[in-house]
Structure 1
Amino acid sequence: MKAIWFVRSVLFALGQVTTLVLFSLVGQLTRPFSFKARYQFMHYWAKFCLVWVRWTCGVKYRVHGAENINPKEAGLILARHESAWETLAFQAIFPRQAYVLKRELLKIPFFGWGMALLNPIAIDRGAGRKALNQLVKEGSARLQQGDWVVVFPEGTRMPAGELGKINIGGAMLATKAKAPVYLVAHNAGSYWPKNSFIKKPGTIDVFISAPLDVAEMSAAEVNQQIENWLSQHLVTTTSSVAKEETAQPE
């Protein structure tokens, strides 16, 4: 079984890397245009990868709570981070968005060049308060411009079923920007694990909350909401993986 997973993962990687080089190079021609135009071109790479990983590795997904998304008003997405999968999938699930990411990622050949076209909020995680202020300032500006913003409150990818420390940055941005806040949980790490080359077949469950009104909440209260919601849905997503594995033939 693992040998088959490896071969299928090799096929996925070949398609992913080849198209990444193509999109990142051709995408440089879109630099003179608006972010909307650049995003419109580059996000097709993410959509291709979602289709390609389904065809090659059998990794599918289903969304619970898609009806909660209001495309007419830019929202702040505070999401669980387990793998590279969600950075691709959110581009298919949500309207045009900007990511908060480590500045070093933009230095990676091809990948970083492509990400730079997507107007990210690139922070120096070692800069402390300065990085926090940058997140709040640039995140608020993106939301006012009508772009959604994605923040991973745990700050780094976590193993499936394990909740990390919830950092304050996303909550501070939420209280400052007064934009609708969507909490998102999923179990992508069960099928596309952190730092793993092999992708396992299965269906990723994505849970999207109703938009939270944080106008009267403190950052600490928002953080508690995030922690409670993610903790609750970690149980649900872990359970769904167990049921799917039990149902699969030996």
Structure 2
Amino acid sequence: MRFLRSFLLLLYLIVFTIPYATACFFAFPFLRADKRYWMAAGWCAATLAVLRRLNGIRYRVEGLENLPDGPAVVLAKHQSAWETIALPALLPRPLCYVFKRELLYVPFFGWALGMLKMIHINRKEGKYAFASVIRQGRERLAEGAWVIMFPEGTRTSVGTQGKYKTGGVRFALAAAAPVVPIAHNAGHVWPRNSFMKYPGVVTVSIGKPIDTTGLTPDQLNQRVETWIETEMRRIDPDAYPDVAAGIRGKNGKPATATDTNGAGAARL
């Protein structure tokens, strides 16, 4: 049954994406940039609803009150394809993803992506590619969007940690924008490089903005990494055996952890 539901999701993604992207092609020339984004984000919201009903994948969001009312650079844990779909539907401002230019050539999805104000780079340009990120990113921030990056670069398996690269924090420093760290455990329901989808509740935790004033790239990167990885062990202790062993109570169940993001939470 789980395989069948995963297969039906694949069919949905194929059947729904093509007409939706086609509708975007016709509508986008007549829409402002922000309207284009929210139309595209509608595909994300619809897909989250399908994932909930078809695959039993639900979510809860902690720390919504931490989101700033101004420019920000969002740096998130990267375990799955789930967060790339979910975050545009969950966060209140347009998100500007930084991605390699080759994605623009993906039929329908990439074509629609190319009509949005995202940041696409040519990795072959080396250091000039980062200069392009800074230029495009500053423009997007000035327009009211948030720039989002995954500091680990690639998706990591549940319970593991990738190397945190400094591109995101260097951009935040160049743009003089605070960093909003995000942790989540989506790898349990949509594992990396896996066709199968599993029912469960994804916890998304949003941290307080990290002020970049006076910090070096290494100092800022360390603060981001420390918050995200510490939070990962709070929201998903069983994925880290050393942590799970340390917080289990006498009854063998994990002890209740204090919500470091405050009381605000959204459930679906």
2:210 corresponds in structure 1 to 212
Asked if the contact 1:123–1:135 (Cα under 8 Å) also holds between the matched residues in 2, the reply is yes
Tell me the amino acid that sits aligned with residue 5 of structure 1.
Answer: R
2:177 to 176, 179, 202: 179
2:54 corresponds in structure 1 to 56
Fraction of identical pairs, as percent: 37
Residues 82 and 143 (structure 1), Cα distance of their counterparts in 2 relative to 1, 3 Å cut = same
- Give CA-to-partner distance per residue, 1:45-77, whole Å, 9 cap, x none: 00000000010000111111111113x313210
Which structure has more helix as a fraction of its residues?
Answer: 1
Query: What's the CA shift for 1:230?
Result: 2.0
2:78 corresponds in structure 1 to 81
Tell me the amino acid that sits aligned with residue 158 of structure 1.
Answer: T
Query: What's the CA shift for 1:42?
Result: 1.1
RMSD: 1.9
Asked if the contact 1:136–1:172 (Cα under 8 Å) also holds between the matched residues in 2, the reply is no
Runs of 4 or more off by more than 3 Å in structure 1?
A: 240-243
For 1:89 and 1:100, how far apart are their aligned partners in 2?
A: 16
Q: Normalized against structure 2, the TM-score is what?
A: 0.84
3-state SS, counterpart of residue 216 of structure 1 = coil
1:229 corresponds in structure 2 to 227
Asked if the contact 1:30–1:37 (Cα under 8 Å) also holds between the matched residues in 2, the reply is no
- Give CA-to-partner distance per residue, 1:137-166, whole Å, 9 cap, x none: 211221111111111111111112211111
1:19 corresponds in structure 2 to 16
Query: What's the CA shift for 1:80?
Result: 0.9
Query: What's the CA shift for 1:170?
Result: 0.3
Question: Unaligned 5+ residue runs, structure 2?
Answer: 245-251, 254-268
Query: What's the CA shift for 1:241?
Result: 6.4
- Give CA-to-partner distance per residue, 1:165-185, whole Å, 9 cap, x none: 111110111111122210001
Q: Normalized against structure 1, the TM-score is what?
A: 0.90
For 2:32 and 2:16, how far apart are their aligned partners in 1?
A: 23
Larger radius of gyration: 2
Query: What's the CA shift for 1:30?
Result: 2.8
Asked if the contact 2:117–2:140 (Cα under 8 Å) also holds between the matched residues in 1, the reply is no
For 2:239 and 2:16, how far apart are their aligned partners in 1?
A: 30
1:121 to 119, 122, 132: 119
1:102 corresponds in structure 2 to 100
Tell me the amino acid that sits aligned with residue 42 of structure 1.
Answer: A
